[in-house]
Structure 1
Amino acid sequence: MVHQTMKMNTTMASMASRKRASMGQVPWRAWTALAAIVGSMAACTSVPLGPPSAPVSAAPGAAAADAGAPLPPALALPRARWQPVRWSELPGWGEDALHEAWNAWLKNCERPPSVIAPLCPQARQLSIASGEEQAAWMMRNLQPYRVETLQGGDEGLLTGYYEPLLDATRQPDATHTVPLYRPPAMARRPWYTRQEIESLPEARAALRGREIAWLSDPVDALVLQIQGSGRLRVTEPDGTQKLVRLAFAGSNEQPYRSIGTALLQQGAVRDASWPGIRAWLVQNPQRASELLWSNPRYVFFREEPLADFDAGFGPRGAQGVALTPGRSIAVDKDSIPYGTPVWLASSGPAVQLRRLVFAQDTGSAITGAVRADYFTGWGPEAGELAGRLKQPLHLWVLWPRS
């Protein structure tokens, strides 16, 4: 899934960012494996806010072995430096309910990177193991590396994203007048802007017959396009309803611009949260199109069935596996390859997080070494958390030992 990030905060994302890595520090075998991965990658649930329900402690034997083993050299990627550390340096290690992350491990093993694949048979066997056994296995097989910028900074930014859950109709009616489209045939790139799509006859003609469903609120459509996917309760022509997923299928390739930032720059609002934006639109309905058109990017979708077996997971991320609420993050793939287990630590006004997650997605606003977008799930509660998430971040990749 490809998404943009628009926060419910008064300022938009800006990443904070300490030692320079040299390629000579990287052992040949480790770098070859790492570079292969990076090269190939180039080719109504919400996350609980409280502490983990069943903390685990790492096995004493594994902890002792970790304390005495020599650390490997640092690793360098195009946009990041990985600095080796002890497991004891991971804040909160031993407190996460690892069994709650194991479904994400199993999803990760559906399309694992080549370096992770040898661990997958054991990871599957450990799906019914205790948290202590899972922690000890990870400590034996994985080496933690603190993620830093190439300049040495190790603090970045955590934001969140989610799947909106919206009501829709299969055919337009008096209230449902906002279409969601499948991708058109594009004779030019970039294609028409949002304003042109909604106003030029030739653009409308190119999209005729490609409507998937209709919403009642153009702001809901914009939110869905920003998040990159969502769930629809669709009313069919015969009156029946069904739940479907809309997944990202392409865009008009125009740049993304935040409508919240546009309002802030105009001095129109002090609160650029979605509630603040909606309140401004209620007071200024005649300027709604002008505001929405300030973001020229337009996203197209494909419809996917939402079966019982996958309803507990999110859409497929850029790795090609279904995202797990609270355990999947979007990253910059030039800093952290898809499929990498990651230890995430972030404390802020929205939530405290110290947990195992997996790098399984990307986003156009997710760039830089210490940068992640946290998948919170779907529906209003997940949206509320995702909208509040904008806080400091530290990351540690958990890389197979050589």
Structure 2
Amino acid sequence: MLRRPVRGWLFCVWFLLAALMGAGGARAELLEFEALDGWRDGGQAEALAAFLVTCDQLDAPSWRPVCKLAADVPKDDASARAFFELLFRPVIVGHPPALFTGYYEPELNGSPVRTSRYAWPLYARPPELKDGVVYHSRAAIEAGALRGRGLEIAWIDDPVEVFFLHIQGSGRIRMTDGSVIRLGYAGRNGHAYRSVGQEMVRRGMFSAHEVSAQTIAAFVRANPGIGAELLNHNPSYIFFRRIRGLSTEKGPIGAMGRSVTPMRSLAVDPAFVPLGAPVWIEKEGAAPLRRLMVAQDTGGAIKGAQRADIFYGFGDGAGQAAGAVKDSGRMVLLLPIDRAFAMADGN
């Protein structure tokens, strides 16, 4: 039953392949797909589905025909793998080893009004905030710089959870009436992100291999005084917006304005990795990964060509998995053939 659509699809692919090869005649040092460790077992059908979520956002000439064909590829791993192998080429940008971390969509407990238990606010974006302009620091906001202005979206029962929600950039809030609201990124205060974990290492509280999100959370809860001061070491502060009409099975909205996919979406530095591009990752560590992902998000701490944040999903389980990731490895960018040759050639 699949032979006829596959044959027609392959004809279109080979036609486009010939056109792209003619357009990108420059020689370049590129990887072959056989050099990607675990490529044949990477579950490319899931990656293709994630790629299609944002493909219509890619409007450059080298992407448009690729995205048009992607929608017609049969939804099995062999066909998806053939699609990527025929129309893309692997390119390493930057110098491995890569640094992989993880992020997730937290679920917090919240209230529409402040109470003795729910005492820590999540703020909407102040109307006077301008992108790229330095605004009140985290310490100033925590001290009350925005208090009384009606910017509170919800009140949360744990300041540590609020801090980590700022790092994740989106979340689910389970309100006291049982309803769940979804929050997305609305802006930041213009201060550069500073790592609390690195500051704890600098002060001699922990060694580098001991620091994780769980370590930081446990320490701050056990030592609220110095803990609050440590959290304020990071002056960056995130503002949120309420997202309506997003079903519970969908991931949070990423930098491309679409839901990100658990274990298939990456946050990257768009100065080096085009948003929407497929990226093959070879992550080492306690839970190694070999899979094709899609660059669909960004993050204030994600800087550099070999730097990525893996989206693990939502809830406590995803948080435990994401918080333990600080691993090396390699990122390999998949680009349409003409663009791959141009990039590898330094154009």
Distance in 2 between the 1:279 and 1:129 partners? 44
What amino acid sits opposite 2:89 in the alignment?
Q
**Shift of residue 123, structure 1, vs aligned partner:** 1.4
Paired residue for 1:193?
137
Distance in 2 between the 1:73 and 1:352 partners? 35
1:283-322 C-alpha deviation (Å, 9 max, x unpaired) = 42333332222222211100112533xx333222223322
Instruction: Say if 2:129 and 2:189, in contact at 8 Å, map to a contact too.
Output: no
After superposition, residues 195-234 of structure 1 pair within 5 angstroms as: 195-200=139-144, 203-205=145-147, 208-234=149-175
Distance in 2 between the 1:198 and 1:229 partners? 19
C-alpha change, 1:277 and 1:124, in structure 2 (3 Å) is same
**Shift of residue 122, structure 1, vs aligned partner:** 2.2
Distance in 2 between the 1:130 and 1:278 partners? 42
- Note the aligned Cα RMSD (angstroms): 2.6
What amino acid sits opposite 2:175 in the alignment?
V
Distance in 1 between the 2:32 and 2:205 partners? 49
Gaps of 5+ in 1: 1-58, 76-82
Q: Is 2:329 the counterpart of 1:388? A: no
Q: Which residue, out of 110, 114, 124, partners 1:182?
A: 124
Q: Which residue, out of 105, 111, 123, partners 1:163?
A: 105
Distance in 2 between the 1:253 and 1:116 partners? 33
After superposition, residues 1-400 of structure 1 pair within 5 angstroms as: 73=26, 83-114=29-60, 115-126=62-73, 128-145=74-91, 147-149=92-94, 153-186=95-128, 189-200=133-144, 203-205=145-147, 208-235=149-176, 240-270=177-207, 271-305=210-244, 307-308=246-247, 311-349=248-286, 351-400=287-336
Instruction: Say if 1:164 and 1:383, in contact at 8 Å, map to a contact too.
Output: yes
Distance in 2 between the 1:306 and 1:234 partners? 17
Moved more, 269-278 or 170-179: 269-278
Same amino acid, percent of matched pairs:
37
**3-state SS of the aligned residue for 2:121?**
strand
TM-score (norm 1): 0.72
1:182-230 C-alpha deviation (Å, 9 max, x unpaired) = 0113378411112212225xx234x621110010111110000011111
Gaps of 5+ in 2: 1-9, 339-347
**3-state SS of the aligned residue for 2:150?**
coil
Instruction: Say if 1:253 and 1:297, in contact at 8 Å, map to a contact too.
Output: yes
Instruction: Say if 1:233 and 1:243, in contact at 8 Å, map to a contact too.
Output: yes
Distance in 2 between the 1:390 and 1:72 partners? 39
Count of residue correspondences: 315
Instruction: Say if 1:108 and 1:358, in contact at 8 Å, map to a contact too.
Output: no
What amino acid sits opposite 2:213 in the alignment?
W
Instruction: Say if 2:220 and 2:228, in contact at 8 Å, map to a contact too.
Output: no
C-alpha change, 1:154 and 1:254, in structure 2 (3 Å) is closer
